[in-house]
Amino acid sequence: MKFIRSMSLVLGAAALFSGGPLQAEEIKRTNVPDFPIASVVQVPPGSTFYFLSGTVPPIVDAEAPKGSIRSFGSTKTQTVNVLNRIKDILAGQGLSLGDVIQMTVFLVGDPEIGGRMDFAGMMEGYSQFFGTPDQPNKPTRSTVQVAGLVSPGMLVEIEVLAAKAPAPATP
C-alpha cells in the first residue's frame, strides 16, 4: 500500500511539473492478421489487472453418464459455455470480454478424433466472442493440449487475465 501511495505522489508531482494532468493511455493491441488473437497487448501504467482462475464447463446433459464427454458437450459447446461463465465473472467485476488481454486454453484430447485436441471446435466457439463486430478486442492466447482436467468428461479449461486502463484525468 505504501508503494502505491508513493507512486501516486510521484505521478501527481510529475503532472504538476509537466504543466498538466497525466493523460491516461489506452490498452493497445497488435492483432495477428486474419486470426482472432493479438500477438502483443500493451497495457499502460496505472492499469488494474484481474487474474481469473481456470474456468471449466458446466454439465449440459444431466442424463448422460457422470464424467462423460456427453455430459459436458463437445469441445465447441464446452468452449462457448466456459466463455459465457468467464463473461459473467467479468461482469461481476464491472468488466467485459473486451477487457481480456491474455488467455490460456487447456484442451484435452478428444477420443472422437484420435486423442488429439479439437482446435477447430475450440476456435468455432472462441470466434463467437473475440474479434467480432460486437466485441472486436482480441487477447494474446496460448492453446495447449493437456492429459486431463478435474473431471474426465471435461475437454476445456480457460484462464484469463483482464486489464482496465485508468480513466482519463479530468481537468
Q: How far is CA 123 from the centre of its chain?
A: 14
Global confidence as pTM: 0.85
Summarised one tens digit per residue, pLDDT across range 54-84 is 999 999 999 999 999 999 999 999 999 999 9
pLDDT score of 5: 38
pLDDT of amino acid 21: 42
Contact between residue 107 and residue 75 where contact means Cβ atoms under 8 Å apart: yes
CA atoms within 13 Å, Cβ hemisphere of 28: 6
What is the C-alpha separation between 104 and 115, in angstroms, rounded?
A: 20
Tens-digit pLDDT profile for residues 11-51: 343 333 333 344 558 999 999 999 999 999 999 999 999 99
Residue 3 in this model has a pLDDT that exceeds 60: no
The SS3 of residue 156 is strand
CA 81, chain centre distance (Å): 14
